Structure 1
Amino acid sequence: MNQITMTGSRQAASPATHRSAAIALRTALANLPMIALGLLLGAAFLTGHLAATTAGLALAGLSLLVTVVVLVFARRQLRADPRSASFARLAAGLAIATLMMALASDALLLTAAWIVTGRLMAGLIGHVGEWSEARDAARRANISFAIGDLALVGAIVILSLGAGSSDIAAISAAVPAMVGPQLTLAAFLLVIAALARCALPPFSNWLMRSLAAPTPVSALMHAGFVNAGGFLLIRFAPALEAVITARSALFVAGIVAALVGSAIMLVRSDVKGALAASTVGQMGFMLLTVALGAYPAALWHMVAHGLFKAWLFLGSAGTICTAPTRAKSLPKPWPAIIALATLAAATTLIETQHADALLPVGLALTALLCALVVAMRAMPRGPVGLFVAVTPIVLIALNAAALAIMTGLQPSAAQPLVSPYAQVVLLSLFLAGWIWQQQVVSGEKALPRPLYARLIHAGSTIPA
């Protein structure tokens, strides 16, 4: 009797054992790509193909910090998702590939890591595979990333052949001796690769469609992925600086993206949609800053925006806004006062000969002054009110200190693209547009209906 019982137990346990072994095997196989990326990163370090640069360390630090936070957040938010393990693997692989891209001293290694990050992000965007919206979003992302990848490969091939080496330092040193047309083509291809990765028009469609992905994926995009276009252009800054037409095209593209992103954000009522549109605008500002040659300001923008926007996305899942639209605007005459204060600060920068990054610094100051006004209006009495009032002032001081530190670590371009006075003119135009935006938000003015319809459907009706 005991023997029969034991035999039956072994037979019953056998299928369960087989299932456990099969699951373990599938898990091991699924982990192989991530393990391979880790081994490749280690091999690159041991063979001397990694180098610490200011831009690389900024991107690597941003990626590591945001990825760790997102993985901790996703453990709870995706605990009922059967694909949560797949998300964790893709997120970890994306972080490893981003580290490799950020620290690579060889252009071919950087390009390979760039391509891998694109494929991993497309996989994350299509996380909910049975949902047609997610599949379509992943398809659009793959198309945009493929265009950017091909542009980067073309640029790196041209630069490597011209320098006789794929080492980034050697390429930078050889740029002055390169032939004009080939260098021009390489610079424009680098700009295209950056536009595709930063989701600037005409590539912004993939970012607006990526809202079909879970919230942790949206936050993870800012962990060095969507910001990587600025890093790429700073890493190959000598090639960009040598071709003034490429810098000018980047400058115009940044202005267009800033305007388009801000306009879409103005009409989107969904939180994630507004945040995604804001990213398009912010990436426009970042690349505009790169085009101006203010690399320290662009790097600090990359880090600060990545951290802040990832935090906003992680909090968007529990956000419910019941305030009327008018409550989101500043009352008169605050917009005009802030604009005048910004222009006065810009004049001071010109007088003190610190106006290389006048436009982006002026826009950042405008945002911080807005935060200060909002804090003052919502300030309660007592210690809490004091804390609310002091916070924006502390933020202004921290941003100024961080920008000063970044300026000491990362030099700007030798030749600025636009004179300080031209930047004042552009800053005045942006401030005028911002004041008009405040009037629209407050209900004083309204967008034309065709424009409103076009903006509110941006990202869903524009063909890939």
Structure 2
Amino acid sequence: MNQNSMSASLGSGVRTAAPAPAQSLPLSSADLPVVALGGLLALTVAYGHAAATAAGIALAGLSLLVTLIVLVFARRQLRADPRAASFARMATGLAIATVLMGIAADVLLLAAAWIVSGRLMAGLIGHVGEWAEARSAARRASISFAVGDLALVGAAILLAIGAGSTEISAITAAVPTMANGFTIPAAFLLVIAALARCALPPFSSWLMRSLAAPTPVSALMHAGFVNAGGFLLVRFAPVLETATSARFTLFIIGLAAALFGSAIMLVRSDVKGSLAASTVAQMGFMLLTVALGAYAAALWHMVAHGMFKAWLFLGSSGTISTASPAAKGLPKPWPAAIALATLASALVFNLTGEGTALLPVGLACAALLSALAIGLRAIPRSPLGLMVAAAPLLLIALNAAALTMMSALQVNAAQPLIPDYAQFGLLSVLLAGWVVQQRIASGEAALPPALFARLMHVANPTA
């Protein structure tokens, strides 16, 4: 047998192992939109279309942090949900779109990310697709978001034409010499876009109805989505400052929303409903702060409120309260003492020459003092009591430090909307209203029956 025949006979009995197939990434067609968003974000950074600003970093950081926490929480809470993977994809896409929005240096790119984030949030609100209430809530949200999207696109087109460029830096630099025919309509359109995203009247119903979504979705709304209206207005602050009428409109609507949300909180008995009403109130305070020109305070409010409210929503899914309704408010004399201490602090703050943020800082001071009062009331008679008492004090110190840092990064408006004494007077009126609210919440007073019924009707919107 020659060598060739021997090789052939051996080859017929020996099989060589086939090469192992290459491992493919566990991606499906449903993941492609998220991958495309991630690719767009990477290209934006790689090709220099990203800009680092205080407002953008605050928005992007808030989005990434809260989304990560929500995704970890949702793995357990939605473990029996057949749409859990869809939720994770949409939540990840929402985070990417929000980061893209925060760092975009081009107004058209920012508008595109804004629109995509709205579509994703509407999809998350309608997560339970077979539930008619969830579908209706998603439809209502889509309509509100569409109005805001059109307003932002209109503002972007006006500003791009007026500046001759779509770069945001070029637009803001050209604003002082831009014709009023471009800046004033653009400012009002930006206000409309912010109102729709922040769920302020007349767009509040989408947020109140979004409670049909799972708890992780409610928490995810505060990961830079519902707060994005504040970011938008701070990002285009020079445009807003050219239109005093737009600032006054924003101020009035923000104040009305703050009062409206605070009133709804008094009549909602469910935890998530009360938290949603609180968000309307807090977004009103945030946009009111933007209108005053205190941009640093508004940005810190956006971050602090986003993290705190997301935490409250994540905890609401397992909340069972056995406390009486009277436990919702502070008893006498705490509210009046806090109001007086806040007004005294506001006077000192005014003497430092920082009157631009007198109203928002005063309201924040009242909130932190309330937290301190609650902590002092809850002190147990044990060594743990010192830690409980120290927590609110540390919270006050943290907020003061963070606001100082944000003030160093974000310049406020050159001209405040209203003078210091007017802010002090308005702060006095709001604190008086807060004292009344605390009396109602603690059971010491009651709303008139007609007003209670009206608020109940507004707090529970129907289709």
Structure 2 residue aligned with 1:112: 112
Deviation track 1:99-123 (CA, whole Å, cap 9, x = no partner) reads 1000000000000000000000000
Structure 2 residue aligned with 1:450: 450
Structure 2 residue aligned with 1:34: 34
Amino acid at match of 1:150: L
Matched, 1:186 2:193: no
Within 1, Cα distance between the matches of 2:461 and 2:73?
Answer: 32
- CA offset at residue 27 of structure 1? 5.8
In structure 1, stretches of 5+ residues that fail to align are 1-23
Structure 2 residue aligned with 1:270: 270
Contact 1:209 1:459 in 2 (8 A): no
Deviation track 1:268-299 (CA, whole Å, cap 9, x = no partner) reads 11000000000000000000000010001000
Within 1, Cα distance between the matches of 2:320 and 2:252?
Answer: 36
Structure 1 residue aligned with 2:218: 218
Structure 1 residue aligned with 2:79: 79
Structure 2 residue aligned with 1:195: 195
- CA offset at residue 442 of structure 1? 2.3
- CA offset at residue 459 of structure 1? 4.9
Within 1, Cα distance between the matches of 2:343 and 2:323?
Answer: 31
Within 2, Cα distance between the matches of 1:348 and 1:460?
Answer: 42
Matched, 1:371 2:395: no
SS of equivalent residue, structure 2 residue 445: coil
Structure 2 residue aligned with 1:230: 230
- CA offset at residue 267 of structure 1? 1.1
Deviation track 1:198-235 (CA, whole Å, cap 9, x = no partner) reads 00011010000000000000000000000000000000
In structure 2, stretches of 5+ residues that fail to align are 1-23
Report the TM-score, using the length of structure 1 for normalisation: 0.93
Deviation track 1:82-132 (CA, whole Å, cap 9, x = no partner) reads 000000000000001011000000000000000000000000000000000
Contact 2:209 2:461 in 1 (8 A): no
Structure 2 residue aligned with 1:99: 99
- CA offset at residue 338 of structure 1? 0.7
SS of equivalent residue, structure 1 residue 357: helix
Contact 2:331 2:439 in 1 (8 A): no
Amino acid at match of 2:151: A
- CA offset at residue 373 of structure 1? 1.1
Within 1, Cα distance between the matches of 2:28 and 2:441?
Answer: 53
Within 1, Cα distance between the matches of 2:27 and 2:118?
Answer: 23
Contact 1:329 1:442 in 2 (8 A): yes
Within 2, Cα distance between the matches of 1:298 and 1:350?
Answer: 18
Structure 1 residue aligned with 2:130: 130
Amino acid at match of 1:438: Q
Structure 2 residue aligned with 1:359: 359
Structure 1 residue aligned with 2:410: 410
- Greater displacement, 419-428 / 375-384: 375-384
Within 1, Cα distance between the matches of 2:44 and 2:460?
Answer: 41
- Greater displacement, 338-347 / 454-463: 454-463
Contact 1:71 1:88 in 2 (8 A): yes
Within 2, Cα distance between the matches of 1:396 and 1:181?
Answer: 45
Contact 1:349 1:358 in 2 (8 A): yes
SS of equivalent residue, structure 1 residue 226: coil
Deviation track 1:281-324 (CA, whole Å, cap 9, x = no partner) reads 00000000000100010000000000000000000011111111
- Greater displacement, 147-156 / 450-459: 450-459
- CA offset at residue 462 of structure 1? 5.8
Within 1, Cα distance between the matches of 2:243 and 2:341?
Answer: 35
SS of equivalent residue, structure 1 residue 322: coil
Structure 2 residue aligned with 1:388: 388
- CA offset at residue 75 of structure 1? 0.3
Structure 2 residue aligned with 1:4: none
Equivalent residues in 2 for 1:290-309, closer than 5 Å: 290-309=290-309
Equivalent residues in 2 for 1:164-179, closer than 5 Å: 164-179=164-179
- Greater displacement, 175-184 / 122-131: 175-184
Structure 2 residue aligned with 1:323: 323
Contact 1:328 1:442 in 2 (8 A): yes
- CA offset at residue 460 of structure 1? 3.6
Amino acid at match of 2:189: L
Contact 1:327 1:442 in 2 (8 A): yes
The structure with more radius of gyration: 2
Within 2, Cα distance between the matches of 1:324 and 1:54?
Answer: 43
Within 1, Cα distance between the matches of 2:377 and 2:461?
Answer: 39
SS of equivalent residue, structure 2 residue 211: helix
Change beyond 3 A, Cα 1:104–1:25? closer
Within 2, Cα distance between the matches of 1:443 and 1:460?
Answer: 22
Contact 2:251 2:292 in 1 (8 A): yes
Within 2, Cα distance between the matches of 1:392 and 1:283?
Answer: 23
Within 2, Cα distance between the matches of 1:65 and 1:458?
Answer: 33
Contact 1:172 1:236 in 2 (8 A): yes
Within 1, Cα distance between the matches of 2:209 and 2:27?
Answer: 30
- Greater displacement, 454-463 / 284-293: 454-463
Within 1, Cα distance between the matches of 2:444 and 2:311?
Answer: 32
Contact 1:195 1:229 in 2 (8 A): yes
Contact 1:205 1:462 in 2 (8 A): no
Contact 2:205 2:461 in 1 (8 A): no
Contact 2:211 2:218 in 1 (8 A): yes
Within 2, Cα distance between the matches of 1:160 and 1:183?
Answer: 11
Contact 2:208 2:461 in 1 (8 A): no
Structure 1 residue aligned with 2:21: none
- Give the aligned length: 440
Deviation track 1:402-444 (CA, whole Å, cap 9, x = no partner) reads 0000000111011111111100111001001001111112223
Deviation track 1:32-51 (CA, whole Å, cap 9, x = no partner) reads 10011011111111111111
- CA offset at residue 380 of structure 1? 1.0
Within 1, Cα distance between the matches of 2:321 and 2:204?
Answer: 26
